Structure 1
Amino acid sequence: MNINDFIITFAKALKADYFFKNIKIIKPFENVSYAGEIKNTFVCVGLDEMEITPIELGDDTKYANVKIKVGIFTEKNNSAFAKDVFLNICRVSQKFNITSIKAQPLEYVKQAKGYRLNGYFSFGTNIDFGGESGE
């Protein structure tokens, strides 16, 4: 499995679900200065961490525990909606081989004048590194 492909597949599954029709699903971006206010709910999906175990499954394949991070951002007058979004991400994630789900408490982000709820979805998989050339 290619991790980037899995993240893209996970994000596409969210986009395809009816609940998310008016919610943007985006890739993570670097921390930048932001002076503004969140106007619409959006979800940021990306790799949080990956731990490769020393079990070799072939020349270019190893077993790994992977954690996907979803950051749910909502406008300041709609903080409770972040929890609904998270529950629906959990529902959609049942299509995947998720081994654990965790959420951090909802928090106010002063710079964005809105709320953020971070969720984590873990799974185990075989990672294919694609050989020596990376192809």
Structure 2
Amino acid sequence: MMSNYAYAIMLLLPLSAAMVIFQSNPYQALVMRGILGAIAALIYAMLGGADVALTEALVGTMLAITLYVVAVRSSLVMRLGVLEGEGAKNNLQWQPMLDYLRAMLKRYQLRLELVPYADKQALHQALSLIHI
């Protein structure tokens, strides 16, 4: 017969799963996914499935979280093409707009990355390669 502690730990599983689903910040969702995997591994170990618990802890939690971090980190970037020569001359002119844009993107956990281009033709060519 299982103790009340086991039932309390089992109640944490759907609670942490709901927290993962409704989390708007992707980094906090990754932390919650790690907690969810740890709780699942603990439940498996308590119920006598040590091999399943070890697999969940290693593959389901550690490997998945590592891959998710790489995917989230690389996908949350907005790239803005700028001309090299004009960017240096008018840096003070565009700085308030860039600061405002960075502040707006920060609300959605996005980073702004400026991509310099040598001339307008290279910038236009880069834009024409994008297929939406």
TM-score grouping bracket, smaller chain normalisation:
under 0.3
Q: Which has the larger radius of gyration?
A: 2
User: Quick check: which one's strand share is greater?
Assistant: 1
TM-score w.r.t. structure 2 length? 0.25
Task: Normalising by structure 1, report the TM-score.
Answer: 0.25
Which structure has the highest helix share of the two? 2
